[in-house]
Amino acid sequence: MAILYGGGIFVCRHCYQLAYPSQRETWDDRSARRADRIRDKLGWEPGILNGNGWKLKGMHWNTFERLTARHGTFVQISLTGMAVKLNLPEPW
């Protein structure tokens, strides 16, 4: 291991059993993060509950349609996870 962590004892990430924040995400949180990443590529306002925007000038329609389809899938997964956490009926 290249980096050591610690206070009194210096050990590696593996020995301390440390994980990156993305490794601790739940499946629905990961979907929301991936949807936000797509929203950023499309130039839309962050947040899966905000409305969809328009196609960016210069972006191919095939790219726009592919990204919006993936965005919709990630939003649906994330909303399903929220509904499960809140004991609500599933959103579809």
Q: Select from 68, 83, 91 the least CA-distant residue to 28.
A: 83
* pLDDT per residue of the chain (92 residues) written in tens, 0 to 9: 566 666 676 677 777 777 888 888 999 999 999 999 999 999 999 999 998 999 999 999 999 999 999 999 999 999 999 999 898 876 55
pLDDT at 77 (0 to 100): 94
**Sign of the C-alpha dihedral, residues 7, 13, 18, 22?**
positive
CA dist., res. 46 & res. 61, Å (int): 21
DSSP characters over 48-69 = TTSPP--PPTT--HHHHHHHHH
Neighbours of 54 (CB within 10 A): 10
Q: Which residue has the tokens 């610690």?
A: 6
Regarding pTM above 0.85, the answer is no
